[in-house]
Amino acid sequence: MIFTIDIVSIKKQLAAEAAIEMIEDGMIVGLGTGSTSSIAIDLIGKKVSEGLNILGIPTSKASENQATSLGIPLTSLSTHPSIDLAIDGADEVSPSLDLIKGLGGALVREKIVENQSKKLVIIIDDSKLVPQLGACPLPVEIIFFGHESTSTSLASLGCTPVLRMDGDKPFISDNGNVIYHCTFPNAISNPSDLALKIEKIPGVVTSGLFVNMADIVLVGSDDGLQTLKRS
């Protein structure tokens, strides 16, 4: 019998295990979206079944469904507007811990939840560490009305925006909007400036640039766990 070891999953698991050690009894916990967050949610579900007392706030319908199926009690930002700790993945992490997020399509709820979190812990495998953001496309969520013309305003910022598809139809986010994946040919030299320019465009909900938000990045690598902290 041949066993294949999925190294990337092991790295994600390492980061997720370290993150859930930061959860304390009584906390309000933001639950991220994506394959790495899903490992963390599974681990939280196990801890809850063993008696951990927390309330989760999911960043997507997928995370909500997973948490519910595991018996993790949930609350909302209306009831608990301040979150103790949010745990989420990322698509890219720069040396200053700025992020590109949202290739899983959940960027808006992630940004809302994580903006309300006292501490944001990002869990990644080491392939997500980049010298400069922008090797992957930047997701931007846009209101459906007039989205084609909104995308031309995005293009005027120097990128090529491509509508995210779900088969032969536009992908629709949990918020009922479309998402454009924007490729910047020369990467992103000034993420905070770009984030402001994108968010000024009427029709844009938000971009996947998470600037100055991550407090800690836990990185699973060949050498074990690496912990990066924002200075």
Nearer to ligand 5RP by C-beta: 32 or 134?
Answer: 32
Which pair of structure tokens corresponds to residue 179?
């998402």
Give every CB contact of residue 109 below 8 A, 6+ residues apart in sequence.
33, 58, 59, 60, 174, 175
DSSP for 97-140, please give it: --EE--TTS-HHHHHHHHHTBS-EEEEEEGGGB-SSS-SSPEEE
**Least Å distance between CB 27 and ligand 5RP?**
20
Residue 162 bridge partners (DSSP): 181
**Least Å distance between CB 10 and ligand 5RP?**
14
Nearer to ligand 5RP by C-beta: 54 or 122?
Answer: 122
Region at 105 (left for phi over 0; alpha for psi -120 to 50; beta for the rest): left
**Least Å distance between CB 39 and ligand 5RP?**
8
Q: Which residues are catalytic?
A: 110
**Least Å distance between CB 122 and ligand 5RP?**
8
Instruction: Give the closest residue to 59 by CA, choosing from 47, 40, 133.
Output: 40
Q: Where does this chain bind ligand 5RP (CB under 6 A)?
A: 32-37, 88-91, 101-107, 110
**Least Å distance between CB 56 and ligand 5RP?**
16
User: Virtual CA dihedral for 108, 159, 214, 174, nearest 10 degrees?
Assistant: 20
Nearer to ligand 5RP by C-beta: 35 or 190?
Answer: 35
- 3-state SS class at 85: strand
Nearer to ligand 5RP by C-beta: 27 or 99?
Answer: 99
Give every CB contact of residue 211 below 8 A, 6+ residues apart in sequence.
98, 99, 191, 192, 195
Nearer to ligand 5RP by C-beta: 35 or 49?
Answer: 35
Hey, how many other C-beta atoms are within 10 angstroms of the C-beta on 189? 11
